[in-house]
Amino acid sequence: MHDGLVADKEELNRQNSMLQVNYIRENRDQVIERLMVRNFKALELVDEVIALDERRRQLQTESDSLAAEANAAARQIGELMRQGRRDEAEAIKARSGGYKEQQKKLADEQAAVEADLYEKLVLLPNLPHHSVPKGVGAEDNEVVLEYGHRPELPEDALPHWELAAKYDIIDFELGTKVSGAGFPVYKGKGARLQRAMINFFLDRAAEAGYQEVQPPILINEASGFGTGQLPDKEGQMYYVGIDNLYLIPTAEVPVTNLYRDTIVRESDFPIKMTAYTPCFRREAGSYGAHVRGLNRLHQFDKVEVVQIVHPDSSYKVLEEMSTYVQSLLQALNLPYRVLRLCGGDMGFTSALTYDMEVWSAAQKRWLEVSSVSNFETYQSNRLKVRFKGENGKTQLAHTLNGSALALPRILASLLEDNQTAEGIRIPEVLVPYAGFEWID
């Protein structure tokens, strides 16, 4: 469906060394060019990283040379002592007494430079794939395809928040009383429909070869750093200060971290996992009609799919994952479109992202319900997710993930698009899970 994504040899070399210092140093101009596609402003970081790496390597050379001198002096002293030439040995020992102090000074400076280098590196986002269009925001995204027919509703059609109140299936005010805005309470058939969608999505994922896991929904800093939420999205995550833990923004984080600091067998690929979790996002600064009802929440349910794969196949897998997510939307009979995100609208860790949006007939606008992304080696470099290739060399794997699916806006579109004078018709594939055909 999406052409031009099979990487050539040069592209694969780029992927396999993504944002590692050696690659940045050896491909400075290309790194800057790709960061400009992202509309990344702090381009001076590239030269700062290169300069710090050069200083680190100089210090290492000086340290190695000093250590060699110290070892040679120690051997000479030992030899002179064995020959009974104590005075000569003591003279050399006196001259070489400053080695330890010099080595400590070099080690301290090297540690400081490495810490500074690390702080600069984590501020650099992933480099976008060559197919990613240059752009600043959502208006620059490319529409790859549009599927299905948008339903024509009568003039008196209701948006989902009014339908929720009419049929008493979601209570936004009650959720505000208990927690605050953005925490709805699902009731009766609304709650059962939520559970139906979760089970449907999980069953479809299992049929597609994904192993279901049930991960923790609280993560430590190492997990947040490994998948790139920290330090980039720290302000968007709920923090449990007393335990230094974060509530997950998506199941991608704990699921991908299951393989942190792991060397897998090449024969294990593809590693396919799925998980249902509640997700938590502060969504600071989100106000207005576009976030009304289920359009944007602080807590929501989502089924996620994650793959860890061989670098040679990751873009083929990305297409397969995109097609899989679309199959869920087709099964629900929801009109949708697929977008290729421009550089300025992509997530910090992504090399290429497709967004799937469903048509909200009552709101007359598109609602994002899934993002499917290839992170290439960006996450695996942080996570140290590796495998041994046929040549015995240890390499970084590629990681991918996708929403399959996020429930709130799916539910919003299902309610709006399927409303009739008699009630709301439930999509046929969900009836066996929900146990009812109508909300009336």
Q: Which pLDDT band holds residue 284 (cuts at 50, 70, 90)?
A: low
Comma-separated ranges of CATH 3.30.930.10 domains in the chain: 138-439
Provide the percentage of residues in the chain whose pLDDT is more than 90: 79
Output DSSP code: residue 269: P
Comma-separated ranges of CATH 1.10.287.40 domains in the chain: 9-121
- Cβ neighbours of residue 205 under 8 Å, at least 6 residues apart? 212, 274, 303, 305, 404
Instruction: List the one residue out of 271, 261, 263 whose CA is nearest residue 393.
Output: 263
Distance CA 191, CA 204 (A): 20
Confidence (pLDDT) at 15: 36
Q: Does 209 score more than 50 pLDDT? A: yes
For the purposes of burial, counting CB atoms within 10 Å of the CB of 254, is it exposed (0-12), middle (13-18) or buried (19 or more)?
buried
As a dihedral over the C-alpha atoms of residue 109, residue 111, residue 114, residue 118, rounded to 10 degrees, the angle is -130
Q: Looking at domain 138-439, does it have CATH number 3.30.930.10?
A: yes
Q: Average pLDDT for residues 213-241, to the nearest whole number? A: 93
- For 9-121, CATH gives 1.10.287.40
Provide the percentage of residues in the chain whose pLDDT is more than 70: 94
Cis previous bond, 432, omega within 30: no
Distance CA 196, CA 435 (A): 9
Confidence (pLDDT) at 73: 85
Distance CA 23, CA 236 (A): 31
Confidence (pLDDT) at 303: 98
Farthest-apart Cα atoms in the chain, separation:
109
Asked whether the CA dihedral 288, 293, 299, 301 is positive or negative, the reply is negative
Q: Does 85 score more than 60 pLDDT? A: yes
Q: Average pLDDT for residues 369-384, to the nearest whole number? A: 96
* Angle between the N-to-C axes of helices 314-331 and 189-207, in degrees from 0 to 180, rounded to the nearest 10: 140
- Nearest-5° angle of CA 239, CA 243, CA 249? 35
Helix ranges restricted to H, 180-313: 189-207, 221-226, 252-257
Confidence (pLDDT) at 19: 59
One-letter identity of residue 408: P
Confidence (pLDDT) at 126: 95
Q: Does 17 score more than 60 pLDDT? A: no
Q: Give the predicted TM-score (pTM) of the model.
A: 0.88
Q: Does 97 score more than 80 pLDDT? A: no
Query: Per residue in 176-215, is it b (16+ CB within 10 Å) or e — as a string?
Result: eeeeeebbbbbeebbebbbebbbbbbbebbeebebeebeb
Q: Are strands 424-425 and 438-439 parallel, antiparallel or unpaired?
A: antiparallel
Task: Specify the higher pLDDT residue, 392 or 179.
Answer: 179
Confidence (pLDDT) at 84: 87
Q: Average pLDDT for residues 77-83, to the nearest whole number? A: 87
Distance CA 348, CA 232 (A): 7
Secondary structure of residue 150 in the 3-state scheme? coil
Secondary structure of residue 406 in the 3-state scheme? strand
Confidence (pLDDT) at 285: 53
Q: Contact at 8 Å (CB) between 47 and 25? A: no
Return the CA Rg of the chain.
28
